[in-house]
Structure 1
C-alpha cells in the first residue's frame, strides 16, 4: 500500500474500503456502488489482506444468495414459498392504495407488488414513496384463497444506508491530512486514481459533489460522452437520484395536483437529469416555468399553495461539437433543448462544469487505493448541508462590486461547497482560498459569458477580486484563453459585422486584448515568435500546445542544441524527447547538420531499457542530418531543466519535456497519440532568454 493508503486506514479505521473490491464482488449484479460498498464496509473495511479476501467471499455469498436478479426472480419466489421466509436485496418503492387506505410495496427485481407495509416504516423512510430505496428485507409467504390478499408479507426491512457517524471525529481526522492528501482521498473515494490526473482535473471532478453539500444548488455539466458525468449521481449516494431528462414531468418532479403527492424535489437532496442535452427533445413548457421558479426561489406551486424544497438540481448531457466550434458558431449551451435554451433558465445556474476538460474514462484511471465507504461520506456531506462557508474568503479578498447579486450568489454557493468538501475544519491558507475562489468565479463566469452571447440585455461583468494588498486578480476561463478570437462575442456580433449596435472589430479586439493581459489569463507562445524573450504560463487541461509552437522557431538555425532534463527515463519521457527531435528535424535545413546532446540521469530501476531507447533514437537520427548523443550525470544532482542553443537561446522549463497528461499511447488511431495538439497539458511555465553576448 502507498503511504497515503496506510494513513487513510490509520485515521479512518473501519470507514474505508479498497476501491477495486467493488469490481471484484459486483459480477453481474446491477446495483449502485453505494449498495456494494455498504456490504464491503461491513466485512472488508480493513487493510489486512486475509480479512479482505474473507470479506470478499462473504459479500459474494450474500449477493449470490440474496440479491435478486430479474431473470432469477422465479427461483427466489420459490425459495420464499418453500422456506417460508427469505432475505433479499432489492429496490423497494411504496404507493398509497386509497381504496384500501393501506401502503403497498413493490419490489423492482423480484416483480411482486401490493405487499402490505406499515405506515410507521413509510414515515421513517419517506423516500420509499418517491423513486424507491435499496433495502435488505425479509419476505414471507402465506397463501390464502382470498384473491384480494397478497400472499407476500414484508417481515422486516432495512434501507442500505449508514445509521450513525461521528462528525467531530471526521473533522479531527481531516486535520491530520494536508490538502493534497485530502484531495487524493476524496478522489479515490469517487473511484479514480489521483496519479492519473492533475490538480485542476481533480477539483473539477470533485465539483460534482457540491450539490450534495449545498442546498438548492443548480449545476450543469455538458461535455463529450464517456467522461463519467452521471456516475456520481447514480452510484455515489443514497440521497441523490438520477432520472432521464426525457422522462421528467411536473407531477414526477414537483407535485401531483390530483393526489397531492410531492415529487422528487421534496424527498431527495440531489435530483440529476441525465441525457439533458438534445435540441430536438420535446419538453413541457410548464415544467420549464415551474423549474425556473424553483431554481430561483426554492419553491414551487401548481395553483394550490406554494411549497418549498431543498433539492439541488443537476443537469448533465453530451455535446456533439468541439468547444472552438461552439464558440465560433453558437455558444456553450448550444445542445440544450429549445425550451431550456432560455436566458432566464440559464441565468439560474450557479456553475457550469467544463465537461470537455474531463478525459474519456479508461480502465487504468480507476483507483486500487483506499477511499471512504461512499455511504459514510454521503452522510457526512448531508450533514454539511447545514453549514455555510460562503464568507470564508473575506479576510483575504474582496469580490468586484461589479458582480451582480445573482452572480455573487452563484460564486458564493460554489465557493462554500468546495470549502466544505476540502476544508470542513476551516483551516485553509490564503493561497488555497484563492484557488477555490477562482474556480467558483470561473464556473459562474462561464454561465454569464454565454448569456451575453444569447441575450443582448446582459451587460459585461468584471469577474475579479482584490487582495487586501490592493492587487486586482481578473479571472478567466480556460477556453477564453485558448480561443480568444471566438470567445469574446456578444449576441449582436453573430453576423460578423458591427451593425445593429454591435461593437466594431477594433473594440472587440481591444476587449480581447484587455482579457489577454489580465493577470489570470493563460497565454500561449504563438508559432513563429522565436525572436522575442518572454515568460509564458500554461493552465492544466489546456490543449493546442505543441513542441513545434513552443520550440520550433527558437531552435531554427542552431547547429548545437543541449537538452538538460534529469527525467528522461520512462518510455513516455523518452518519447517526448523523440518528438522534440522531430520538431528539430522539421525546422532545420537539409543542407545543415545539428548536434543534439542530452544530459540526464540514469534510471535506477531499468537503466538497460533507458539506454536501449536512447540508442534507438540515435539510430533513427542517422541520415537525417541530426547527430544525437547523450550522457548521464554521475552525481545525480542536476535539477534544472532547460534547452540551450549555440544561437544564444536558453529555454527554461519548470517541467522539462514532461508537459503532457497521460494519454492512450497504445491506440494507433487516437489523435492524442498521433498529434500533440489534441493532448491536454499539465500546468507548466516556460521562459525564453537570449544571451546578450
Structure 2
C-alpha cells in the first residue's frame, strides 16, 4: 500500500489503522465503523490516537445494554442524558407525533423510546426520516402528558446530531479512484475492509475477499460462503457496516425476518442492505416451510408480503457455513451441512454465487489492516450510496455478449454480480470505454461466471435429475462484446 498516495488523494477520509489499536477497540466490542469514527475524532495529523480520551468518550457517551435502567432512573429524577445510540424514527399518523425507539436497549417495549420534539425532526428530517435506522448523539429528557387524567410520563428527544460527521460525495470518491491503477485500487478496497493487502500471497486471494463486499454495493445480491472456521467471514458482515445485519445462531421467525402481520411492519429484510445468516448449521426457524416459501418469493421478486400488505425491499441474502476439508470442491455436495431452509434446489437456485472460503487464508496477525487506509465508516457509506447508482448496470449490458435463450436466473446472477464488481473496482467508469476489456473480463465477468457456475454445480449435486443434464449443467456462454 502506498500510504502517501492514499493520504494525498483522500486527505479527509483516511485513518491510520494498526493491529494494536484494532485489538483495543475489539476488546470494547465496538464495530469497525465506530472505531474509525472515534479514531479520526481523537487523532492528530500523524494518525496517533489518544486512547485515554477515546476511553473517556466511550465511558461517557456509548452506554452498554445494561446501562439504560440507570438512564431511566436519572431521567425521572429530572436529569437529561446524552449518548450515542442506534435509533429508529417513525411518524405516527394517529397521534400526529414523531416517535423514536432505541433497539439496542430493547426498544419501546423496554421503555427505550418516546417522542421526538418537532424542532429536532424539522432540523434533521432528511437524516432521521429518510433511513430506516440511524446512529447519532441523542439527548433525552423525561416529561408528563397532562392532557390525560393519569398524566402519564414519557421520554422526549430534545436534541440530536448525526453519527456521520460529513457528507459523502460520490463524485469525490470516483475522482479519487481514477488516480489509482486497478491493482492499487484493489489494495485500497482490501484495507478499507480492515484487511492488510500486503498479508496476502496472491491477487487471487484478495479477489476472494472482495466477493464478500458484493452484497454491500449492489441490491439483492444473494451469496453463500462455505469455509473452514477462522477465515473471518462473519467479521465482514457484522463489523464493517451499520447497513447490514448478521443473525448468529438462535431462532428466526417470519415476523422478525420478513413481515410482522400483527404490527404491520417489515422485518430485517426491509431495513438493511443485507441480512447474513451465520452459524447456519445450528440456526432454527419457526414454521420453516412458511419462511422458505416467503423467502423464495422475496429472492425472486424483491417483494415482502404479509396477510394483507406488500412492500418492496432490496436486501441481499447471505448464508455463511462451515465446511470440512474433504469437501473443498464445488462439484461435490457442499451444502448438505447447512440448514435445510437453503439447500432445497428451488431456494439454492435463487442464490447468485458461491464464495469458496477455503481459498481465503485463515486470519492471522499479518492480515490485520496496518497503515493509512480509507475510514471504514466512510467506505461503508460509499458502498451504500452506490447501490442506488443505475448507470453501472447499463455499462455491464454494453460489455456482455449474451447467447440466445439464456437461462434467466443464470443471466440475472451474472449481470448482477458483474454490476457489483464494476461498482467496487471501477466506480469511476461512466461508459464501456472507461474499462479495459481485459480488465472487465478478469475482474468482473470471469469471477461472476465462476461464482454462478459454483451454484450450478451444487444444484447438480443436490438435484441431479433436474440440473445435471445437458443445457442446465453449465451457465450460458456469456462473453465480452468487443
TM-score where L is the length of structure 2:
0.83
**Cα deviation digits, residues 631-677 of structure 1 (max 9, x gap):** xxxxxxxxxxxxxxxxxxxxxxxxxxxxxxxxxxxxxxxxxxxxxxx
**Cα deviation digits, residues 386-435 of structure 1 (max 9, x gap):** 22434646766635557422111111111110111000112322221111
CA distance in 2, matches of 1:396, 1:263: 37
CA shift, 1:270, in A, is 1.6
Structure-1 residue corresponding to 2:462: 454
Structure-1 residue corresponding to 2:16: 18
Determine which of 220, 226, 230 is the counterpart of 1:222: 226
Structure-2 residue corresponding to 1:210: 214
CA distance in 2, matches of 1:248, 1:281: 5
Structure-2 residue corresponding to 1:88: 83
CA distance in 2, matches of 1:279, 1:203: 29
Determine which of 341, 344, 354 is the counterpart of 1:342: 344
Structure-2 residue corresponding to 1:273: 277
Work out whether 1:371 is the aligned partner of 2:373.
Answer: yes
Structure 1 residues 125 and 254, CA, compared in 2 at 3 Å: closer, same or farther? Answer: farther
CA distance in 2, matches of 1:301, 1:142: 38
CA distance in 1, matches of 2:329, 2:211: 26
Work out whether 1:175 is the aligned partner of 2:178.
Answer: yes
CA contact (8 A) 2:353 2:413 kept: yes
Determine which of 209, 232, 239 is the counterpart of 1:235: 239
CA distance in 2, matches of 1:144, 1:308: 37
CA distance in 1, matches of 2:103, 2:396: 48
CA shift, 1:108, in A, is 3.3
Structure 1 residues 61 and 24, CA, compared in 2 at 3 Å: closer, same or farther? Answer: farther
CA shift, 1:72, in A, is 5.3
Structure 1 residues 81 and 107, CA, compared in 2 at 3 Å: closer, same or farther? Answer: farther
SS of corresponding position for 1:108: helix
CA distance in 1, matches of 2:25, 2:367: 18
CA distance in 2, matches of 1:98, 1:169: 39
Which stretches in structure 1 are left out of the alignment for 5+ residues?
470-693
SS of corresponding position for 2:174: helix
Structure 1 residues 36 and 77, CA, compared in 2 at 3 Å: closer, same or farther? Answer: farther
CA shift, 1:377, in A, is 1.6
Structure-1 residue corresponding to 2:204: 200
**Cα deviation digits, residues 551-606 of structure 1 (max 9, x gap):** xxxxxxxxxxxxxxxxxxxxxxxxxxxxxxxxxxxxxxxxxxxxxxxxxxxxxxxx
CA shift, 1:85, in A, is 2.6
CA distance in 1, matches of 2:309, 2:113: 33
**Aligned pairs for 1:605-616 within 5 A:** none
**Cα deviation digits, residues 485-524 of structure 1 (max 9, x gap):** xxxxxxxxxxxxxxxxxxxxxxxxxxxxxxxxxxxxxxxx
**Aligned pairs for 1:347-426 within 5 A:** 347-385=349-387, 386-390=389-393, 392=395, 398-399=401-402, 401=404, 403-426=406-429
CA distance in 2, matches of 1:366, 1:247: 32
Moved more, 181-190 or 389-398: 389-398
SS of corresponding position for 1:9: helix
Structure 1 residues 23 and 402, CA, compared in 2 at 3 Å: closer, same or farther? Answer: same
Structure-2 residue corresponding to 1:430: 437
Determine which of 161, 183, 188 is the counterpart of 1:185: 188
Q: Which has the higher contact order (CA 8 A, sep 6+)?
A: 2
Structure 1 residues 13 and 99, CA, compared in 2 at 3 Å: closer, same or farther? Answer: same
Structure-2 residue corresponding to 1:625: none
CA distance in 1, matches of 2:281, 2:292: 14
**Cα deviation digits, residues 332-371 of structure 1 (max 9, x gap):** 2122222322111011101111112122212231011122
Structure-1 residue corresponding to 2:39: 40
SS of corresponding position for 1:379: helix
CA contact (8 A) 1:282 1:337 kept: no
CA shift, 1:461, in A, is 2.1
TM-score where L is the length of structure 1:
0.59
CA contact (8 A) 2:305 2:311 kept: yes
Structure-1 residue corresponding to 2:139: 138
CA shift, 1:155, in A, is 2.5
CA shift, 1:438, in A, is 0.9
CA contact (8 A) 1:139 1:155 kept: yes
Which stretches in structure 2 are left out of the alignment for 5+ residues?
none
Determine which of 53, 58, 61 is the counterpart of 2:56: 61
Structure-2 residue corresponding to 1:158: 161
CA distance in 2, matches of 1:291, 1:186: 31
SS of corresponding position for 2:355: strand
CA contact (8 A) 2:403 2:478 kept: yes
CA shift, 1:206, in A, is 1.2
**Cα deviation digits, residues 141-176 of structure 1 (max 9, x gap):** 569999873465432233423552222111111111
Structure 1 residues 37 and 262, CA, compared in 2 at 3 Å: closer, same or farther? Answer: same
SS of corresponding position for 1:227: coil
**Aligned pairs for 1:482-631 within 5 A:** none
- When Rg is computed on C-alpha atoms for both structures, the one with the higher figure is 1
**Aligned pairs for 1:644-663 within 5 A:** none
Greater helix content:
2
CA shift, 1:80, in A, is 6.1
CA distance in 2, matches of 1:391, 1:267: 27
SS of corresponding position for 1:53: coil
Determine which of 408, 415, 440 is the counterpart of 2:448: 440
CA distance in 2, matches of 1:27, 1:391: 41
Structure 1 residues 334 and 163, CA, compared in 2 at 3 Å: closer, same or farther? Answer: same
